[in-house]
Amino acid sequence: NAGVMQNPRHLVRRRGQEARLRCSPMKGHSHVYWYRQLPEEGLKFMVYLQKENIIDESGMPKERFSAEFPKEGPSILRIQQVVRGDSAAYFCASSPPYYPGETQYFGPGTRLLVL
């Protein structure tokens, strides 16, 4: 059973471009979480999704950021018109459908660098 997969592992964008980060949860997991780790800072919750539903997006910046988890395919975190302050490591985690009561399994992260 493959773990949580994220791609790309590293992404370089110029200011104003769009960044698309993908997360494929573990097989059988229907809950996905996105977290951001700014340089020299701790992890921060961004959004919690289940298949085709956003459950909690209270940690997402109100503008330029969006997330989806379609019925088929990976979860996508999209950042429009990136700025230098978006440079960070973005981690996703997944858990089984009978969560809570289960551990979240983390992907390796996508390191976004905005030039």
Partner 1 sequence: KNEVEQSPQNLTAQEGEFITINCSYSVGISALHWLQQHPGGGIVSLFMLSSGKKKHGRLIATINIQEKHSSLHITASHPRDSAVYICAAETSGSRLTFGEGTQLTVNP
Rg for the chain, CA atoms, rounded: 13
Residue 12 lies near partner 1 (rule: CB under 8 A): no
Residue window 13-52: x/- pattern of binding to partner 1, with contact defined by CB under 8 A: ------------------x-x-x-----xxxxx--x----
Residue 102 lies near partner 1 (rule: CB under 8 A): yes
57 and 33 Cβ atoms separated by less than 8 Å: no
Residues that contact partner 1, how many (by CB under 8 A): 26
Q: Point out which span in 13-21, 67-75, 78-86, 105-113 binds partner 1 (CB under 8 A).
A: 105-113
Q: Which residues contact 112 (CB under 8 A, 6 or more apart)?
A: 11, 12, 13, 19, 21, 79, 82, 86, 87, 88, 89, 90
Give the helix, strand, coil percentages of the chain, each rounded to 5. 5, 50, 50
Report the nearest approach of partner 1 to the CB of residue 11 (Å).
14
Residue 96 lies near partner 1 (rule: CB under 8 A): no
Residues near partner 1 (CB under 8 A): 31, 33, 35, 41-45, 48, 55-56, 58-59, 89, 91, 95, 99-100, 102-106, 108-109, 111
